[in-house]
A and B are shown apart, each in its own frame.
Chain A
Amino acid sequence: MIKRLTGGIYNWLDDRVEISVLVDFVHKQMTKPVPKHLNWMFSFGTVTLVFFASQFVSGLLLMIYYEASAATAYDSVKFIMEEVRFGWLIRQVHSYGANFMIAFLLLHSLRVFFYGGYKKPREVTWLFGFGLLGVTMSFGFTGYLLPWDQLSYWGTTVGTEIAGSTPFIGKYLLIVLRGGETISDVTLTRFFAAHVIVLPWVFAMLVGAHLFLIRYKGISTLDRTDVPEKTSEELLKDGGYPFYPKHVLKEAIVVLLVLASMILLIVYYPLPLHEKADPFNTPAGVKPEWYFLSMYQALKYMPKMIGIIGSGLVILALCLLPFLDRTPERRPSKRPWAVSLGILFIVVNLALSLLAKVAESEYTIGGTRYHFDTYGWPHVIASPAEDTITEAPESVDETEAEE
């Protein structure tokens, strides 16, 4: 009965809009074989996509109560968290989701890098993916300001200052971003517009193109780029298997486990809403979000102009990676230089992020209190170290010279 009914609907639609073309296309894509080397790391892209969907839905729900003006934004978020039924959950899913989305997008990018997935003939897929990374980080940057609390206000101040340091255009860029000299109501409304209208459309177009190319070109094998790509039959013969069901199920497992972890984080370590933004009161140790920390810290060690140009060149090099790295090998074991550079890039970024995290804070390490200065350098602030310093005899001459 049901089969007859669905069959009837299908035939009715097919007579009018030729739905069979779409169904055949989807079927072909779902059964298209994937290479045998696909492991759990090949699910990161899908996890990112799921988080985008989750952000879209939770964002729509938040928009029902959110009011994008400096006078009301904070109170509306507080209202969502405290008064709206399950508002706390929706807001936490959106806040954590943003962090997870960026984290998994970075992991996905690293996976593509280490498996040589960006190489010929998938250069365009990489370019769209790189665009998606930029758009996702812009999502994070614009969304961060929306709760209008102290952390978001001053974090955005620091973030826009980095953009304002861009050579030649920095001054104008800063004004465009902020809508004036300082972060204000105007900044909030333009960030909101970018966050809920401009960026979602750009993201949707880029992700559409990215996914189409992934399905069209297929997931890359570990073969050299100077040998012809394997056909579906060859892939199957070589141990590959259809995309559906095995790989789809593998991705579903990863997605579910990641979601479970996020839910537990939400209920045990919810992200707080800080004090309402106060433009006249700068809190100590203001820092941008974690994914901007390494760049923020790197800029401290060099003149701003050099830092910004350097960062820009690194970003450009990453964007143009498929055109810079034209070696035919894809296997990580046969690309020692590329892999070493990749690992170095990760280590440097992690180190800079860690330094940025501890900078301008005080910590107790092994019972001794340290103040970490803006460069992340520790200074002992407890008295035992002061006593040690006074025992130094070598500077007595200079002491007398001072007198």
Chain B
Amino acid sequence: MTRVEPRRVRIVRRDMHRGQTVMGGLIARMIMGLVAAAFWVVPVAAQGDASNTCISCHASLEDEDMSEPVGQWQRGVHNPAGIACQDCHGGNPASLVEDDAHSVEAGFIGEPEPEEIHEVCASCHQLQTDNYLPSPHGIEGEFWPSCTDCHSNHEVKHPVVAEISIPANCEDCHEQDIMDDFITVVDRGLNPLADFNRAAEEIESSGVPVALIMSQANLAKDAFRTRASHVFVMANIIATVDSLEKTYTKIEKDLDLARTEVETRRKFGWLLASIFVIMAGVIWLYKRALPDE
């Protein structure tokens, strides 16, 4: 009961707010919108649906085990990708009634058992699961560690080694040297891809096409994901990363060429603009020198 009450308080307030809008709050909305827009605003990527009742209810629960995941999810990578609570836990995120939201008919599974976690993740990450299952960590390792042990469950991190919790989970079974080697080789495989993405985004916003270059990067990424990601066999990972390094060098060269094109365009722009400004200056001087009529 104590967990339900705050949520219902909020429901009533939302209804009141909606009523105000209908009753003529439009002018107030416009003014408030303008006031808010007058601040320096920074656009962010599309985020989770603000009307998701899982989020709105759980955020206000007193039990921290139940409320903390909301904040964690908001900070994770699933939020901007549009993956919300119901995508992993099932349930009805549109229902305001707890029993409906948590009904089995709506596919609610609650917290998955450790041996089920990879099945939940597989609904989106099939390729990684296919590699994970026959790996030493999969069936043979009795699903330890599971997906969430490394990637976290709610505050899911970007899949680069620097951001996932490998040492904390792995040092009990693996020696530090092996862990260091693993981190190094995976970084060698993944970090350039992240760098390429950042560079491509910057170049593309300058108007120079990078689609062809990035198709090479995507092929490399697919190769890494298929042959090295989640296989947990060092020899396979090293062989894959070694084979990809040639491709990475070529991508880097192509990106450098694209960067040069951006610079060339900017220099051309400055040249043209300078010519126009100088011409304007000369005309202004000539105009000033004209005798008064």
Interface of A with B (CB < 8 Å)? Answer: 33, 81-82, 88, 92, 236, 240-242, 245-246, 249-250, 252-253, 256-257, 259-261, 263-264, 266-268, 270, 272, 284, 301, 351, 354-355, 357-359, 361-366, 369-372, 375-379, 381-383, 386-387, 389-390, 392, 395-396, 398-399, 402-403
Asked if B280 and A252 make an inter-chain contact with CB atoms under 8 angstroms apart, the answer reads yes
Interchain CA distance A266-B192 in the complex, whole Å? 30
B153 at the interface (CB under 8 A from A): no
Q: How far is the CB of B265 from chain A (nearest CB, A)?
A: 5
B29 at the interface (CB under 8 A from A): yes
Interchain CA distance A256-B269 in the complex, whole Å? 14
Asked if A259 and B207 make an inter-chain contact with CB atoms under 8 angstroms apart, the answer reads no
B146 at the interface (CB under 8 A from A): no
Asked if B287 and A249 make an inter-chain contact with CB atoms under 8 angstroms apart, the answer reads yes
Q: Kindly list chain B residues whose C-beta atoms are within 8 Å of the C-beta of A261.
A: 273
B125 at the interface (CB under 8 A from A): no
Q: Kindly list chain A residues whose C-beta atoms are within 8 Å of the C-beta of B11.
A: 402
B70 at the interface (CB under 8 A from A): yes
Q: Kindly list chain B residues whose C-beta atoms are within 8 Å of the C-beta of A392.
A: 9, 13
Asked if A375 and B276 make an inter-chain contact with CB atoms under 8 angstroms apart, the answer reads no
Q: Among B44, B46, B60, point to the contact of A387 (Cβ < 8 A).
A: B60
Asked if B10 and A264 make an inter-chain contact with CB atoms under 8 angstroms apart, the answer reads no
Q: How far is the CB of A299 from chain B (nearest CB, A)?
A: 13
Q: Kindly list chain A residues whose C-beta atoms are within 8 Å of the C-beta of B56.
A: 386
Nearest opposing residue in chain B for A355, CB measure: B33
B109 at the interface (CB under 8 A from A): no
Asked if B39 and A366 make an inter-chain contact with CB atoms under 8 angstroms apart, the answer reads yes
Q: Kindly list chain A residues whose C-beta atoms are within 8 Å of the C-beta of B277.
A: 256-257, 260
Q: Kindly list chain A residues whose C-beta atoms are within 8 Å of the C-beta of B293.
A: 33, 236, 240-242, 246
Asked if B13 and A386 make an inter-chain contact with CB atoms under 8 angstroms apart, the answer reads no
Within 8 A of A (CB), among B34-69: 34, 36-37, 39-44, 46-47, 50, 56, 59-60
Q: A252-B280, A301-B26, A389-B9 are in contact. Are A364 and B32 (CB under 8 A)?
A: no
Asked if B10 and A362 make an inter-chain contact with CB atoms under 8 angstroms apart, the answer reads no
Q: A253-B283, A264-B270, A284-B46 are in contact. Are A370 and B36 (CB under 8 A)?
A: yes
- What are 21 A-B residue pairs whose CB atoms fall within 8 Å in the complex? A81-B209, A241-B293, A261-B273, A266-B269, A268-B269, A272-B205, A272-B207, A354-B37, A355-B34, A358-B37, A358-B41, A362-B47, A365-B41, A375-B21, A375-B26, A378-B36, A386-B10, A386-B59, A395-B12, A395-B13, A398-B12
Q: How far is the CB of A36 from chain B (nearest CB, A)?
A: 10
Interchain CA distance A359-B74 in the complex, whole Å? 22
Q: Kindly list chain B residues whose C-beta atoms are within 8 Å of the C-beta of A363.
A: 37, 41-44
How many residues on chain B are close to A (CB under 8 Å)? 57
Asked if A383 and B59 make an inter-chain contact with CB atoms under 8 angstroms apart, the answer reads yes
Q: How far is the CB of A16 from chain B (nearest CB, A)?
A: 36
Q: Kindly list chain B residues whose C-beta atoms are within 8 Å of the C-beta of A270.
A: 206-207
Q: Kindly list chain B residues whose C-beta atoms are within 8 Å of the C-beta of A390.
A: 6, 9-10, 60
Q: Among A249, A266, A375, A381, point to the contact of B283 (Cβ < 8 A).
A: A249
B1-36 vs A, Cβ < 8 Å mask (1 yes, 0 no): 000011011111100100001000010011011101
Q: Among A81, A250, A378, point to the contact of B32 (Cβ < 8 A).
A: A378
Asked if B283 and A256 make an inter-chain contact with CB atoms under 8 angstroms apart, the answer reads yes
Q: How far is the CB of A336 from chain B (nearest CB, A)?
A: 25
Q: Kindly list chain A residues whose C-beta atoms are within 8 Å of the C-beta of B266.
A: 267-268
Nearest opposing residue in chain A for B27, CB measure: A301
Nearest opposing residue in chain A for B45, CB measure: A362
Q: How far is the CB of A157 from chain B (nearest CB, A)?
A: 20
Interchain CA distance A248-B82 in the complex, whole Å? 57
Asked if A375 and B30 make an inter-chain contact with CB atoms under 8 angstroms apart, the answer reads yes
B290 at the interface (CB under 8 A from A): yes
Nearest opposing residue in chain A for B267, CB measure: A267
Q: Kindly list chain B residues whose C-beta atoms are within 8 Å of the C-beta of A386.
A: 10, 56, 59-60
Interchain CA distance A220-B259 in the complex, whole Å? 52
Q: How far is the CB of A39 from chain B (nearest CB, A)?
A: 14
| Known pairs A272-B204, A365-B41, A375-B33 / 13 extra A-B pairs, C-beta < 8 Å | A236-B293, A240-B293, A246-B287, A257-B277, A260-B280, A261-B273, A268-B269, A357-B37, A365-B36, A370-B36, A378-B33, A383-B71, A399-B12
Interchain CA distance A70-B94 in the complex, whole Å? 38
Q: Kindly list chain A residues whose C-beta atoms are within 8 Å of the C-beta of B206.
A: 267-268, 270
Q: A92-B207, A241-B293, A263-B273 are in contact. Are A361 and B43 (CB under 8 A)?
A: yes
Asked if B32 and A381 make an inter-chain contact with CB atoms under 8 angstroms apart, the answer reads no
Asked if A252 and B283 make an inter-chain contact with CB atoms under 8 angstroms apart, the answer reads yes
Q: Kindly list chain B residues whose C-beta atoms are within 8 Å of the C-beta of A382.
A: 74
